[in-house]
């Protein structure tokens, strides 16, 4: 709204008369009316569909589900509404159909909503609403979803719905905590993505009644340390012992992520494993990250806490020093399953005799299964893998924002 000079004079006269009359009630009403003219844009949370979920578990999680330059297909079985975020201009509002979006027609950020039906993105369905942002020619498709509904997908994406209910509850609390830790990031385009870089999120298709029950029965529960949500790392299989985070990620040393003995994950198919790695493979994957690497002449592993913490690669053109975790992540995900291994030289490379799968920090998922089968509660499981923590319910406890 544009205010001309006569309007401003009239408002000032009215304000002065109200002040003279000491009429606070009418003064407050006028302030509210004027402020309503100035700002009437709804919050992003308001744009979420109303649901029966209440309190903290309705807090919005922003999940990056796709980042691409390719065309995107949006579908729904019911009404779809597409509007521009800044202007709120409606670009489409009608019954659901196939809508193709490209970076060319998504130059400005848009919001996509549907009523009574999930939104499909390239054939995969999601609860909540979508935002699309064009970042340097790539469309970033972000799913805005309540924390509770987000967990309905995360828990069965991370563990089997056939596992004991107490292990599912442990996973629900740990996954909720992990999400809360990242929700605290201010002004982020998104909080998490759908991959193992954070925690796996596969939309509606993987949801099950058993894992949703675990989410509901632990509603609002998170793990805190010194009044803050912990960075609740977890992994598939520790192989008998977890590891301190400082040995995996340089600069990290969280007091609640310490080495813990685990006698519960022996049923994991990855409790022990063997893998051949040739020098050709090592050189091939190193070249994707390091240019000018020559023929490998030496390979040395430095260990702490029984796991490889750093790798020194000597080659004809120099020396490369790399962390153990970065070395593992150079390869396909199933190649070097963990850093808990011993290496023996072969004619053309190495044979690795390993234990466990994943980085080895925090909760061992197969260990949580084993503990649940032995009668431990989800609270027992969580307290076993995280040191000095408290399990609290956000309905009763307000932690301080970071």
**Domain contains 314:** yes
Out of 113, 148, 183, pick the residue that ends a domain: 148
**Domain contains 57:** yes
pLDDT digits (tens, 9 = 90+) for 65-112: 999 999 999 999 999 999 999 888 999 898 877 899 999 989 999 999
Which helix (H) or strand (E) element contains residue 349? Answer: strand 349-355
Degrees, nearest 5: CA angle 308-313-317: 165
User: What's the rounded Cα separation, in Å, for the pair 274 and 60?
Assistant: 43
Q: Are residues 122 and 249 in the same domain?
A: no
For the sheet with 72-75, list strands across it. 99-101, 72-75, 119-121, 124-126
At 107, give phi and psi (nearest 5°).
Answer: -70, -30
**Domain contains 142:** yes
**Which residue, 274, 246, 268, is CA-closest to 354?**
274
Degrees, nearest 5: CA angle 232-65-75: 140
At 27, give phi and psi (nearest 5°).
Answer: -65, -45
pLDDT digits (tens, 9 = 90+) for 227-280: 999 999 999 999 999 999 999 998 889 999 999 999 999 999 999 999 999 999
**Domain contains 297:** yes
Q: Are residues 144 and 238 in the same domain?
A: no
> What pLDDT score does 1 carry?
41
> What pLDDT score does 30 carry?
36
Would you say residue 328 has pLDDT above 90?
Answer: yes
Specify whether the CB–CB gap between 123 and 136 falls below 8 A. no
pLDDT digits (tens, 9 = 90+) for 196-228: 999 999 999 999 999 999 999 999 999 999 999
User: Residue range 351-380: average pLDDT?
Assistant: 98
**Domain contains 340:** yes
Q: Are residues 241 and 343 in the same domain?
A: yes
> What pLDDT score does 88 carry?
87
Q: Are residues 136 and 238 in the same domain?
A: no
pLDDT digits (tens, 9 = 90+) for 111-140: 999 988 899 999 999 999 999 999 999 999
**Domain contains 321:** yes
CB proximity list for 272: less than 8 A, separation 6 or greater: 239, 353, 354, 355
At 167, give phi and psi (nearest 5°).
Answer: -70, -35
Q: How confident is the model at residue 59 (pLDDT cuts 50, 70, 90)?
A: confident
Would you say residue 39 has pLDDT above 90?
Answer: no
**Domain contains 29:** no
Would you say residue 398 has pLDDT above 80?
Answer: no
**Which residue, 135, 339, 112, is CA-closest to 241?**
339
Q: How confident is the model at residue 160 (pLDDT cuts 50, 70, 90)?
A: very high
Residue with token string 């609390």? 173
SS3 240: coil
Q: Identify which has the larger pLDDT, 161 or 13.
A: 161
**Which residue, 213, 195, 64, is CA-closest to 131?**
64
Percent share of the chain, pLDDT over 90: 73
Would you say residue 7 has pLDDT above 60?
Answer: no
User: What's the rounded Cα separation, in Å, for the pair 43 and 85?
Assistant: 11
Secondary structure string (H, E, C) spanning 386-398: CCCCEEEECCCCC
CA pseudo-torsion sign 318, 321, 326, 332? positive
Out of 123, 148, 173, pick the residue that ends a domain: 148
Q: Are residues 364 and 255 in the same domain?
A: yes
> Within a 10 A sphere around the Cβ of 236, how many other Cβ atoms?
23
Model's pTM, two decimal places?
Answer: 0.83
> What pLDDT score does 31 carry?
36
Q: Are residues 239 and 370 in the same domain?
A: yes
> What pLDDT score does 95 carry?
82
Q: Identify which has the larger pLDDT, 340 or 57.
A: 340
> What pLDDT score does 396 carry?
65
Out of 103, 126, 148, pick the residue that ends a domain: 148
What is the token pair recorded at 351?
């044979």
What is the token pair recorded at 120?
């499909």
**Domain contains 186:** no
For 60-127, give the DSSP string: EEEEEEEEESS-EEEE-SS-EEEEETTT--EEEEES---EEE-SSTTSS-EEEEESSSPEEETTEEES
Overall domain count for the chain: 2
> What pLDDT score does 8 carry?
41
Q: Are residues 368 and 250 in the same domain?
A: yes
Q: What is the mean pLDDT of the chain?
A: 86
User: What's the rounded Cα separation, in Å, for the pair 243 and 306?
Assistant: 9
> What pLDDT score does 63 carry?
97
Q: How confident is the model at residue 57 (pLDDT cuts 50, 70, 90)?
A: low
- Domain extent, residue 342, equals 234-377
């Amino acid at each position: 709204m544009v205010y001309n000079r006569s309007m401003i004079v009239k408002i000032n006269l009215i304000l002065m008369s109200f002040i003279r009359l000491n009429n606070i009630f009418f003064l407050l009403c006028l302030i509210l009316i004027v402020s309503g003219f100035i700002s009437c844009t709804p919050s992003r949370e308001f744009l979420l569909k109303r649901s029966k979920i209440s309190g903290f578990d309705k807090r919005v999680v922003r999940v990056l589900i796709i980042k691409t330059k390719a065309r995107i297909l949006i579908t729904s079985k019911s009404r779809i509404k597409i509007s521009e975020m800044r202007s709120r201009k409606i670009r489409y509002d009608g019954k659901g159909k196939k809508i193709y979006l490209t970076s060319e027609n998504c130059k400005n950020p848009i919001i996509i909503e549907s009523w009574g039906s999930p939104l499909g993105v390239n054939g995969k369905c999601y609860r909540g609403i979508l935002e699309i942002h064009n970042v340097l020619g790539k469309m970033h498709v972000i799913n805005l979803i309540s924390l509770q509904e987000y967990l309905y997908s995360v828990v069965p994406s991370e563990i089997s719905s056939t596992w004991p209910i107490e292990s599912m509850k442990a996973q629900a609390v740990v996954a909720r905590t992990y999400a809360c830790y990242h929700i605290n990031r201010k002004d982020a385009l998104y909080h998490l993505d759908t991959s193992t870089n954070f925690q796996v999120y596969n939309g509606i298709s993987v949801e099950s009644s058993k894992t949703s029950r675990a989410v509901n029965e632990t509603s609002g529960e998170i793990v805190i340390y010194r009044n803050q949500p912990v960075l609740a790392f977890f992994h598939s299989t520790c192989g008998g012992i977890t590891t301190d985070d400082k040995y995996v990620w340089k600069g990290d040393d969280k007091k609640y992520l310490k080495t813990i003995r685990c006698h519960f994950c022996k049923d994991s198919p990855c409790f022990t494993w063997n893998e051949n790695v040739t020098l050709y493979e090592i050189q091939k994957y190193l070249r994707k990250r390091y240019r000018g690497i020559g023929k490998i002449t030496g390979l040395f592993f430095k260990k702490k806490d029984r796991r490889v913490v750093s790798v020194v690669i000597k080659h004809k053109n120099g020396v490369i020093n790399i962390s153990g975790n970065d070395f593992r992540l150079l390869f396909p995900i199933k190649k070097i399953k963990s850093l808990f291994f011993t290496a023996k030289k072969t004619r053309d490379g190495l044979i690795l005799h390993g234990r466990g799968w994943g980085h080895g920090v925090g909760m061992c998922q197969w260990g949580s299964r084993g503990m649940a089968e032995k009668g431990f509660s989800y609270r027992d499981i969580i307290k076993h893998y995280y040191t000095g923590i408290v399990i609290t319910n956000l309905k009763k406890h307000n932690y301080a924002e970071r």
